[in-house]
Structure 1
Amino acid sequence: MFPTIMIVDDEPSILQSLGGLLSDEGYDVITASNGYEALKKIESAAPDLVLLDVWMPGLDGIETLQEIKKISPVIQVLIITGHGNIETAVKATKLGAFDLIEKPLSFDKVIMTIQRALNFQRLEEQNRYLRRKMLEKHAINGNSSAIVALKKQIAVAAPTDAWILITGENGTGKELIARTIHQLSRRAEEPYIDINCANLSEEGFDAEFFGHEKDAFPAATGRRKGKAELAGKGTLLLDQITDLSLKNQGKLLRVLQEKQYERVGGNRTLRLDARIIATSNRDIEKEIRAGAFREELYYRLNVIPVIAPPLRDRKEDIGVLADIFLAANATQGRGSRKRLSEDALACLCAYCWPGNVRELKSLMERLSIMTEAETIRPTDLPAPYNMSPSAVSAANDLACLFSMESFDDAVEAFKETFIRKKLAENRNDVSATAAQLHISRSVIQKLIKAPGLL
C-alpha cells in the first residue's frame, strides 16, 4: 500500500503537475487549493504527508501547519516556499515541519525529501511501538489501592522535570518505578542511564559519574565519558543513593547545586542537563540523624517523594503478579504454563513476603520448573509458604522482624506483636492482659495504637 500525499497550493498548475508526477511514482494523491480545504480533507483522508505552500490567501501555510499538528502531530509536513526566506524556514521548523523545499521545484529533490520524511515517520512509528512494548514489559501491575495511588502519583510526576526520590524495601520495584517515570516523561526518547551507588568504591565515584581524560590517573588509558555526560538530556538514576560515602555525597551535592562539572583530569566545564531520580531502601531521615547522609542532599533530591509499597501492603495483587510471572516463565521455556489453585493462592496471601515482589517472582520461577501438574496446589509449595494459618502467622511475624534493618523498629514491632497475641488470648480484655503482663493499660494503648480498646 502506497503512502497518501496531500498537496496544498493555490496555484492549479502546481496541483496538476506535481500531483501527476507523484501519482506516476505510485503515491495516492489528494489536493487542496487552500488551508481551509486542506484541514477538512485531513480529518477524513488522514494523509501520511502534506506538501504545503507557505504563501496562500486566507489561511497561510504557517497557520495551516499549526492546525495540522493539532489535528495529527504524526503527519509529516514539507513546506514549499520562495527562495531564501530564512525566517519562514526557522518558524516552520520550530512548529514541526520536517523540511522546506524551495521554488522553483526540482522534482528529484521533492521525491528525495518525501522519501526521507516517510522513512523518518516509519522510524517514529517503530519507536512509539517499542516504547509501548517496553511499558507493557515493565508495567507496574496490580489493582490494589496502594498501586492505584502509586500509578496516579507517577502520572502526575512523570511529565514534569522535577527530581524524584523513590524509597522502599528491597524487592519492591524502585528501579521499575524510575524506568516507568522516564518512559512517561518528555525525555522518553533521550538516554536512561543508571549508577548503582552500592557498587562504587570511594575512589570509583569520580570516574563513574564525571568521566575522565586520558592519563588522568594510571589506569586512564583513554578518555571516558561519565554517566552524567552519557545521560545527556535524559534521565540519570542514582540507585541506592544512601550507599554513597559522605565525601562523595558532598561532590554530588555540589554538582546538583551548580549543574556543572568537569571530567577527572580535565578543565572543560560540562553541564548537567539530565533529570535526576534517586532510590534508597533505607529510612533516610534516620540516616541523617545518624550522621550518615547529608541533609542538604536529601532536600535537593526529595522534590517529589515516591514510596514503593511492600507486597504485604498490597496482597490483593499477589494473584495478578503470580499469574504474570507464571505466564512469562512458560514463554521463556521454564516449564509449561502453570496456574495457582485457590488454596495455594490463599497460602501465598497469608505469607509476609519480606523479599517482596522479587521473592514472589523467584518462587513462581521455581514452581514453574519443579511442579509437574498444570495446577499448583498447597502441597506443591515449599516451606514456609505451605504452612498452616497459625504457623504462617508465626512465620510472618518472625520474617517481618528479621527483614527490618533498624533494631529499634524490630523491638517496637515485637512489642506490638506480643501485646496483640496476649490480648487475643484474653479475648481483648485489656485489664486482664495488663494484669497478666504487669503493665499499665496505657502501655497497651500506646503499643498497639488502638485507643478504642480502652
Structure 2
Amino acid sequence: MKLPELIGSSARFQSVLDDVRVVASAECAVLVQGETGTGKEVIARAIHESGPRQKGPFVGLNCAAIPGALLESELFGHERGAFTGAVAQTTGRFQAANGGTLFLDEIGDLPLELQPKLLRVLQEQQYERLGSTRTIQANVRVIAATNQDLWRMVEEKSFRADLYYRLSVFPLSLPPLRERREDVPPLVNYFVRRFSRQMNKSIEHIPDEVIEVLKSYHWPGNIRELQNFIERSVLVTPGPVLSPRIAELKVLMHAATSAPTQTQTLSDAERSHIVGVLKETNWVIGGRNGAAARLGLPRTTLISRMQKLGISNNPGGLHLASLEGATLVPHRNESQLLAS
C-alpha cells in the first residue's frame, strides 16, 4: 500500500506508518494521540486516503473551536426552528462526511452531554438532526485525535469510558519531534521546497550549521513549530542560501545548549525557550507575529503551558488562562499581564 507523502525515516515514525498501513483498510474507529503539532490530522488524512473510503469526503471538525451549545448542530445538523436563529435546515458534519471519513480533532473537549449522542452514532450508525425525529443512517468512518490523556479524563469522570473504548478500537500514538531528531533534515528540506515555490524563490542550499541547530533544539511545538520557523526563514532569505534571522537562530541555539542535564529537566529547557521567544516578540502572545505563532502553538495552549511552567511573573495576581487576548508587557524589572 502506497501512503501519501509522509516525511520521516526514523524507527519511531516508521512504526507509526506500519500502523497506518494496518488500519487503513479497516473500517474501525481510530484514536490518534500526540502532542500539539505532531501531525495528527496529516496521519488521519493518510489513513483516509489509503483506505476504501478514499473517494469519499474527508471532513474535519475541531471540537475545541466550537462552543458547546453549537457543537451538536455542527455534528448532526438541525431543522428549521430547532432553536432561536435556526432559519433553515442545515446538514451536519456526519451527513457531509457520508461515504467518507469524519475527523474529530480535540475530542477530549467534547462536552459530557454530547458524548452519549456520539456514542450512539458509533454503536448504531444512526442519528437525528437537532429538532427532528427522523432517523438518518450514518455511513461514516470516525477518526478522533487528542493531545490530552483521555484515560486520565475517564478516571476523573470528565470523559465517558464507553465512548473512550469505542473511539480507541485502534489507538495510534505519534512521537514528538524531539524523539525523532533524524527526521528534522528531511522535514526542513521539504518545507524549504514548499515555501520557496509558494513565495517564488529559488533557495538551493541549507547551511549545515543551521541544520545542526535545528536538530539539537527540542521543538516543544513539534512539526508545526518547525514549519513556522522555516516559513519565516524562507520569507526573509534574499538569495539562494537559507538565511534564518540571526536573533531567532540564537534563541534556538541558547535553548539547544540549555538542553536537559542531570540538574535540569525538559520543563526547564522548555521554560527557557518560551521566555526567550516571549522576549523576542516583546511579550506578545497572540496574533500573527506573537509568541504562540512562532512556537507553532494555539494561543490557549501556550497560555496553559506558561501557567504550568510558572511563566507569569505576575505580582498583580491575574490568571493567565482567564485572559482571552493576553499580552505580556515588560514593566521595569518585572512583567505584568495586560489584556490586549
Q: TM-score, normalised by structure 1?
A: 0.56
Residue in 2 aligned with 1:158? 24
| Cα 1:296/1:387, change in 2 over 3 Å | same
Residue in 1 aligned with 2:103? 237
1:379 Cα deviation after fit = 7.5
Residue in 1 aligned with 2:37? 171
Does residue 385 (structure 1) correspond to residue 255 (structure 2)? The answer is: no
Q: Deviations over 1:159-189 (max 9, x none)?
A: 1111100000000000000011000010111
Match for 1:207 among 65, 73, 85? Answer: 73
Q: Which runs of 5+ in 1 are unaligned?
A: 1-131, 412-454
Tell me, yes or no, if the aligned pair for 1:385 and 1:392 is still in contact at 8 Å.
no
CA distance in 1, matches of 2:31, 2:227: 25
Q: Which aligned pairs between 1:24-103 and structure 2 lie closer than 5 A? A: none
Residue in 2 aligned with 1:280? 146
| Cα 1:377/1:396, change in 2 over 3 Å | farther
> Aligned to 1:276, what secondary structure does the other structure show?
strand
Q: Which aligned pairs between 1:185-200 and structure 2 lie closer than 5 A? A: 185-200=51-66
Does residue 145 (structure 1) correspond to residue 145 (structure 2)? The answer is: no
Q: Deviations over 1:74-95 (max 9, x none)?
A: xxxxxxxxxxxxxxxxxxxxxx
Q: Deviations over 1:191-235 (max 9, x none)?
A: 111111011212112211111112222211111111111111211
Does residue 228 (structure 1) correspond to residue 94 (structure 2)? The answer is: yes
| Cα 1:386/1:377, change in 2 over 3 Å | farther
CA distance in 1, matches of 2:243, 2:60: 40
Does residue 250 (structure 1) correspond to residue 116 (structure 2)? The answer is: yes
| Cα 1:352/1:185, change in 2 over 3 Å | same
Q: Deviations over 1:332-354 (max 9, x none)?
A: 01643153211211111111100
Letter in 2 for 1:178: A
More helix by share: 1
Tell me, yes or no, if the aligned pair for 2:178 and 2:218 is still in contact at 8 Å.
yes
Does residue 313 (structure 1) correspond to residue 179 (structure 2)? The answer is: yes
1:396 Cα deviation after fit = 5.7
Tell me, yes or no, if the aligned pair for 1:343 and 1:378 is still in contact at 8 Å.
no
Q: Deviations over 1:104-161 (max 9, x none)?
A: xxxxxxxxxxxxxxxxxxxxxxxxxxxx9xx65xx22110011111111101100111
Q: Deviations over 1:236-259 (max 9, x none)?
A: 111110011111112212332222
Q: Which aligned pairs between 1:341-360 and structure 2 lie closer than 5 A? A: 341-360=207-226
1:410 Cα deviation after fit = 7.8
Letter in 1 for 2:148: R
Q: Which aligned pairs between 1:14-25 and structure 2 lie closer than 5 A? A: none
CA distance in 2, matches of 1:371, 1:406: 31
| Cα 1:215/1:389, change in 2 over 3 Å | closer
Residue in 2 aligned with 1:326? 192
Residue in 2 aligned with 1:365? 231
Q: Which runs of 5+ in 2 are unaligned?
A: 275-300, 311-340
Residue in 2 aligned with 1:420? none
CA distance in 1, matches of 2:236, 2:245: 12
Q: Which has the higher contact order (CA 8 A, sep 6+)?
A: 2
Tell me, yes or no, if the aligned pair for 1:384 and 1:395 is still in contact at 8 Å.
no
CA distance in 2, matches of 1:392, 1:378: 21
1:376 Cα deviation after fit = 3.7
Match for 2:85 among 219, 223, 237? Answer: 219
> Aligned to 1:375, what secondary structure does the other structure show?
coil
Residue in 1 aligned with 2:280? none
1:375 Cα deviation after fit = 2.7
Tell me, yes or no, if the aligned pair for 1:261 and 1:271 is still in contact at 8 Å.
yes
CA distance in 2, matches of 1:268, 1:318: 51
CA distance in 2, matches of 1:172, 1:353: 10
Tell me, yes or no, if the aligned pair for 2:218 and 2:256 is still in contact at 8 Å.
no
Which sits farther off after the overlay, 283-292 or 345-354? 283-292
CA distance in 1, matches of 2:207, 2:133: 64
Q: Deviations over 1:20-66 (max 9, x none)?
A: xxxxxxxxxxxxxxxxxxxxxxxxxxxxxxxxxxxxxxxxxxxxxxx
1:406 Cα deviation after fit = 9.0
Tell me, yes or no, if the aligned pair for 2:234 and 2:243 is still in contact at 8 Å.
no
Letter in 1 for 2:241: T
| Cα 1:310/1:221, change in 2 over 3 Å | same
CA distance in 1, matches of 2:257, 2:89: 61
Give the root-mean-square deviation of aligned CA atoms. Answer: 2.7
